[in-house]
Amino acid sequence: GVKGERGKAESRRLGWQPALCVASSLPLQGISLFTALGRVEAAHRPEMRAIIARDGWPSFISSRRGNDVIRESVADNRVCSVCEQQFSPLWVHRGVCCECEVEVREAGRCPYSKRCEPSWFCPHSLRCFVCDAHGCEACHLERGGAEVVSEVVERVQPARLCLDFDRTLANTKSGGVPIYGKHQLDEDLCALMWRHQAACRIVTRNRHAAEIGTFLKKHGAPEVPIYTVKKGEVKADVVLDGLQPEQTAVLVDDSIVELVHPRLKAAPTAHCVLFVRALL
């Protein structure tokens, strides 16, 4: 909160930096800790903002807002990219101060990147699907690896399961020819293809459809249709064309642009997963 600024300054004078340490005995055990901290932050942020709105920033912070004096520590010279005021790192995250971050989010925009479109922003939690590594079941746009994909598929039981190829089903680069022995196939997604073979299809912008088919066969994947989406065409059409109103569809892709097409967003039975392998 507001009091944390003084404690951080004191730690610097003592020659050590404050740190949040997580024991490494259990994989990812810090996730629950960060989740708990997030709940605390969410509970007390409105109170902090109300105090600042009523009383203003504390004097030891307000005295330096807008101050262009270069401080001894490089870390202390942080300027918000929105209001262009100077703060210490406690109040600036990814180049945006905490107050501007909230205001930009409440306006329905990503506070961190101007390239992010409004359609990439979740109206339910006011978070960006890309920059905040966010997923939202209510938006029908979730985020994660094969485990998340499997959970979504088992939950909605789609009549059509559409998988992107490059950087999703395989670790090939966009448009490249898949080479057996050089490139890999996601084993968990391959298993999912077998479980939902009748509904599954590959929807890719990679034009090497024949090579993709051979690659899949060598990796033991089931034979499924491969649709190549050309320039000027959209994957949403391949996902939705021919479906009955009550039938659900799932599109798994590593590109947010493909997933937020207006036709997909307007279809109540369409579900999307922004595919990422790494834990962000």
pLDDT tens digits along 71-96: 555 556 688 999 888 877 888 889 99
- Band (pLDDT 50/70/90 cuts) for residue 32 is confident
Using N-to-C axis directions, what is the helix angle for 187-195 and 146-156, rounded to 10°?
10
DSSP annotation of 58: -
The pLDDT of residue 279 is: 47
CB 189 within 8 A of CB 169: yes
Which token pair is 33? Answer: 């800790």
Mean pLDDT over residues 28-44, rounded? 76
Whether domain 141-275 has CATH 3.40.50.1000:
yes
Between 3-7, 72-76, 206-210, 252-256, the lowest mean confidence (pLDDT) is in: 3-7
Strand-pair category, 78-79 with 86-87:
antiparallel
- What are the residue ranges of CATH 3.40.50.1000 in the chain? 141-275
Between 22-26, 107-111, 185-189, the lowest mean confidence (pLDDT) is in: 22-26
DSSP annotation of 280: -
The helix (H) or strand (E) run that includes residue 123 is none
Cβ atoms within 10 A of the Cβ of 257, count? 12
β-partners of residue 163 are: 202, 252
pLDDT in tens, 175-199: 899 999 999 999 999 999 999 999 9
Percent of the chain with pLDDT over 90: 64
Indicate whether 28 pLDDT > 80: no
Rounded Cα gap, residues 120 and 246, in angstroms: 26
Indicate whether 70 pLDDT > 80: no
CB 162 within 8 A of CB 238: yes
Q: What is the distance between the terminal CA atoms of the chain, rounded to a whole angstrom?
A: 25
Between 28-42, 61-75, 154-168, the lowest mean confidence (pLDDT) is in: 61-75
Q: What is the CA radius of gyration of the chain?
A: 23
Residue 198 CA, distance from chain mean position: 30
